[in-house]
Each structure stands twice: as structure tokens, then as C-alpha cells.
Amino acid sequence: MKNRQLGRSNPLEVSAIGLGCMGMSFSYGPPKDKQEMISLLRAAVDHGITFFDTAEVYGPFTNEELVGEALEPYRGKVVIATKFGFDLSGSDNRPGASGLNSKPVHIKEAVEASLKRLSVETIDLLYQHRVDPNVPIEDVAGAVKELIQAGKVKHFGLSEAGANTIRRAHAVQPLTALQSEYSLWTRTPEKEVIPTLEELGIGLVPYSPLGKGFLTGKIDENAKFDSSDFRSTLPRFTPEALKANQLLIDLLGSIAQRKNTTPAQIALAWLLAQKPWIVPIPGTTKLSRLEENIGAINVELTADDLREIDFAASKIPVQGARYPERLERMTGL
């Protein structure tokens, strides 16, 4: 496994590909078997992955507990990232159902609870999950700065934040990473966010680097999603959108065939080739997929390959919004 560095002022070294753990407990159908997921998380470590991503809202709470238990034998050898920022005080614990809460007092309460669930003394990387328009980002960054000074947090990050918010937060407490959706079918960060990160020396951690499974080539317009699978609510996963977006899969498939690899590996290799400080975190609940994703590190895309992908992808307009309007309003602030 190769390593990459997130952040310039206070660098964090992690495996070049991390593991998104959300789907083990949340969002992609019913929670998976706990012991099977513990085995998978430990297999990831054995395969060289040192970077694991969770959040208090995944479950809620149960994903942090799972990650904490599974990775307890590897304390000091792995990096665990978690997130705060949703209001989980109501009876409906769906992300955003009760709104956002990044008040400094709430951040500190959330961190104490996450530390217990993860069974750690310090959180390696703490993200604000979504920008809270009711709390100045300077206050959020100041609260995390105090947690860093207290030894409860090592690194600060934001998720789905816009360029101006990134600059304001970074001025108070330097950011190590931004986590945002970025892939061949979600390229919004390229316009303003990625240049800002490069200027300030902040790493990028793309979530959903395989388009929530779509870029694996295993999903077409006939796919059926369980009501507990949040893709059933996404405009981009309607049969019509899936059919229209199949052109992107055809592109990945043709290049994969030429390279004797898979569409998923091409999609991940493309991300890795964009910047040396990009670390994607594909999620999976299957060992075979984990191994496939890790294999992307060894896929070489030449400058000609990258030009070909960009040229062809630019002619394929992606159909469907990323999120329903309620959730889309929480991104890019």
C-alpha cells in the first residue's frame, strides 16, 4: 500500500485509499452483520489500509461503535476520522431531519461521546459534517482549536464546504482535509474548491468516489433499491437517470477492457491521478470489493489516458441531481 499526505501545515499520513464505513451500519439497506463487518475492517488493515471514515450520525452512533471495537487492536497504527454537526436530539434521526447543530457547546459534547464510542483518547481527524448557516464558521473552528489544544482532537476538517467557508475556517484553525463528493460524475469541486485547497495546502478526501456504486458498472436502469437504501430517494438513481448516465459506464468499461482492469478501478485511478493529496474513501461491505478497490493503486493512467477520459466525459451530461433539494441545500456553503 502506498501512502499519501493530507494537509501541509500539520500533515497527516494515511493510506492512498481509505475505507468509508457508513454502509456497514446505515443508508445502504439494513445494517450488516456486526461480526462480518469487524472481520472486514480488520482485513482492510491487513491489506494496508490505515484510514477509516465514520460519523456520529451513521446509525446514528452504531457505526462509531463498530469501528471503535474493530480497530481497537490497532490503536496508534490507524487513522480514524469522524464527524459532528447534525442535530440528533429529535425522535427522527435521519441526517438533517432535525437540522444542523454546530454550536461550540454541542461540538464539545459530540466529541466526548465520539471518543467513548470509538474507545480512543484522541480523534485523529474531526470534520464538521455540514456547514451550519446559523453558526459562524469562525466559532466552529475556534471550538475545534480548543479541542486540539486539549488533546482531544489532532486534525480539523470540513465536509461539503465552499471555498469562502474553507478560507474563513482555515484562518482560525488550519484545516488538514476537506471531505466532499468527487468522482467522474460529480466534478463540482474542480471549479473553485480544488484550487482553494491547493493554494492553502489542504487535502481532499472524496466520498462516494464510485458514485454510490454506479461507477462500478453493476447498476443499470433495472436496479431496485430497498426503502432502507437511501439511493431510492436520489434523483440520480431514477431509472431514467440511470439509463441516461450509462454512457459514463460505457466509457469506463472501454478503458478498463484495454487496461485489463475494472470500471471501478479506472474511476478510482482517475481520482488518484488528479492530485497527490487526494485520498478517496470508497465504502464496501464485501472483501472482494475491498480488494478490487485497493487494486486501483496499481492502475497506471497515462497523460493520454487522462485526456481521453476528460474529453469523452465532457460530452456526457450527467442526468439527475445528487440529492433531494432538502439535502442539496446543505452542501457547498
**For the residues 224-244, what does the mean pLDDT come to?**
94
85 to each of 135, 194, 241, 311, how far by Cα in Å? 11, 23, 31, 38
Q: 299 — phi, psi (to 5°)?
A: -85, 120
Task: Give the Cα separation of 238 and 66 in Å (integer).
Answer: 32
Instruction: Report the percent of the chain where pLDDT is more than 70.
Output: 98
Q: How far is residue 130's CA from residue 136's CA, in Å, rounded to a whole number?
A: 13
pLDDT at 94: 58
Per-residue pLDDT tens digits for 235-266: 999 999 999 999 999 999 999 999 999 999 99
| Mean pLDDT, rounded, of the chain | 95
Q: For position 235, what pLDDT does the model report?
A: 95
Q: Which residues share a beta bridge with 229?
A: 28
Cβ atoms of 127 and 81 within 8 Å: the answer is yes
- Per-residue DSSP letter, 313: H
| Cα distance between residue 57 and residue 74, in whole Å | 24
CB 90 within 8 A of CB 79: no
Confidence band, pLDDT 50/70/90 cuts, at residue 89: confident
Per annotation, catalytic residue among 28, 58, 127, 207: 58
CATH architecture, domain defined by 3-211+274-300: Alpha-Beta Barrel (3.20)
pLDDT at position 177: 98
Distance CA 229, CA 37 (A): 18
What is the reported pLDDT for 326?
85
What is the rounded average pLDDT of the residues 102-107?
98
92: Cα within 13 Å, side-chain hemisphere = 6
Q: Give 18-37 pLDDT, tens digit per residue.
A: 999 999 999 998 999 999 99
Contacts with 116 (C-beta within 8 Å, 6 or more apart), sequence order: none
Task: Answer yes or no: are the C-beta atoms of 54 and 81 closer than 8 Å.
Answer: yes
279-329 confidence digits (pLDDT tens): 999 999 999 999 999 999 999 999 999 999 999 999 999 999 999 998 888
325 CB-near residues (< 8 Å, 6+ apart) = none
> Residue 117 — very low, low, confident or very high, per pLDDT cuts 50/70/90?
very high
Domain ranges of the chain: 3-211+274-300
Q: Is 58 designated active site? A: yes
